[in-house]
Amino acid sequence: MSVPGDMQVKRGSGRNQTITMRDVAEDSGFSPATVSIVLNNAPLARYIAPATKKRIEESAKKLGYRPNAMARFLRSKRSHSVGVIFFDITDPFCTPVLRGIENALYQSSYVPIFADAHNQRNRFERYLEMLLEHHVEALIVVANWLVVDIHLLADLSKRNIPAATIGWELPGDIVSSVMVDNEIGGRLALEHLQQLGHRKIAFIRGPKMIIDSAPRWRGVQKYAHTVGLEIDPALVAQLPDSFDPNSGFDGGYRLAEEFLQKRKKFTALMAFDDLTALGAIRALAKAGVKVPEQCSVIGFDDVLPAAVSVPSLTTVRQPLETMGTNAANIVMDGVKAGLEKRDWSTLRQKVTPELVIRDSTRDAAHGAAD
């Protein structure tokens, strides 16, 4: 039996709330400074006796010590957090992106502080403010949909906090960005339809205010030109600007209906994105046009609804999760660079989309929607 004095019972006095470093110091018999060095595995830890380390680590574990992130920040200026602002989380586009970001940050033991601008400029600004107050070490903006003028972001670089945008880019080299290569994507989609033998193709272009719209369409035009495919202006429509990222569905429905009313024959339809494609498919179905038998439809993005619809949607896949991961890694690299006083420059990354062939497209031999 051990003598009473042997008992390491912590006097459960008043301050039973939180275990501080001082508690660990007392328990282990070393000074707070040493404890700090050991527990952070700081450079100086090389000079600490292994036995000491062990004792300290044991005490820490025994007491359930948890470093206080706030106190730590006050000294080290490191909050171990990154701000992540979504323009509109409602867009299924965002989910895999968020997953990618989260996963990358997790690897570095950083936490994401989540913000959703609801497509409102003042909300965006307010969140920026809040994130700054929380001293996030970096910022990621997922700007899939609406424009909010992001000059605000330029402000950040002044504060030396690395920022990256996903699905959007700013002029200049202040903010990093990760985007799909829309031109390749546009080509991929049209190429697929063309190779299936489609010649009469209807197009629903993206809203003017979306940055992806123009290059994606350029990809289409260039490819059409290359293979000598004629694009009938009567079969080209454009989604109206809107604040709702999922409005493409209604837009696709309406524009497809209009195509049908024109009684212009087409055997395939290329939509700006997946939801637009699904909207179009619904219009076609309502008019009794079967997909893909009478009309092939291709989307863009590869969000969840594309995979689980009936028929499943052929689409051009954006590697959304990867895009999130990359953006997070880019800013984290910036954070590390700042820490090590290394030089670091902003990055503009284009990722390559990929054709995903499913059930909504097939060869043109069979029929046509008119």
Partner DNA sequence: TTGTATGCGTTATCAA
Partner DNA sequence: TTGATAACGCATACAA
The encoded tokens of residue 238 equal 């454009």
Is residue 29 near DNA by the rule CB under 7 A? yes
Among positions 8, 31, 68, 108, the unique one binding a second copy when judged by CB under 8 A: 68
Alpha-carbon gap, residue 186 to 28, rounded angstroms: 64
Is residue 305 near a second copy by the rule CB under 8 A? yes
Among positions 27, 34, 190, 271, the unique one binding DNA when judged by CB under 7 A: 34
How many Cβ atoms are within 10 Å of 298's Cβ, its own excluded? 29
- Looking only at residues 24 through 53 of this chain, which bind a second copy when binding is defined by CB under 8 A? none
Is residue 22 near DNA by the rule CB under 7 A? yes
Report the chain's C-alpha Rg in angstroms: 28
Among positions 206, 207, 215, 279, the unique one binding a second copy when judged by CB under 8 A: 279
Is residue 278 near a second copy by the rule CB under 8 A? yes
Contact 280, 269 (CB under 8 A): yes
Is residue 135 near a second copy by the rule CB under 8 A? yes
Contact 33, 45 (CB under 8 A): no
Is residue 67 near DNA by the rule CB under 7 A? yes
Q: In one letter, which amino acid is 62?
A: K
* Phi, psi dihedrals of residue 227, rounded to the nearest 5°: -95, 5
Among positions 31, 41, 58, 129, the unique one binding a second copy when judged by CB under 8 A: 129
What DSSP line would sit under 172-235, residue for residue?
A: SSSSEEEEE-HHHHHHHHHHHHHHTT--SEEEEEPPTTSTTHHHHHHHHHHHHHHHTPPP-GGG
Nearer to DNA, 40 or 160 (CB): 40
Contact 150, 88 (CB under 8 A): no
Is residue 63 near a second copy by the rule CB under 8 A? no
Q: Which stretch binds a second copy (CB under 8 A): 41-49, 139-147, 179-187, 301-309?
A: 301-309
Residues found in the chain: 370
State the nearest-atom distance from the C-beta of 78 to a second copy, in Å. Answer: 10
Is residue 282 near a second copy by the rule CB under 8 A? yes
Alpha-carbon gap, residue 122 to 93, rounded angstroms: 23
Q: Which stretch binds a second copy (CB under 8 A): 5-13, 48-56, 85-93, 213-221?
A: 85-93
Residue 220: which of 190, 179, 247 has the closest Cα?
190
Is residue 71 near DNA by the rule CB under 7 A? yes
Size of the site for a second copy (CB under 8 A): 57
Pairing of β 296-301 and β 354-356: unpaired
The encoded tokens of residue 234 equal 């009567």
Nearer to DNA, 75 or 151 (CB): 75
Nearer to DNA, 19 or 356 (CB): 19
Contact 198, 370 (CB under 8 A): no
The encoded tokens of residue 347 equal 């990055």
Is residue 234 near a second copy by the rule CB under 8 A? no
Q: Which residues bind a second copy (CB under 8 A)?
A: 17, 66-71, 73-74, 79-81, 84, 89-90, 92, 94-96, 98-99, 102-103, 106, 109, 111-116, 118, 123, 129-135, 159, 246, 249, 275, 278-279, 281-282, 285, 304-305, 307-312
Q: Which residues bind DNA (CB under 7 A)?
A: 18, 20-22, 29-34, 36-37, 39-40, 42, 44, 47-49, 51-52, 65-68, 71-72, 74-76
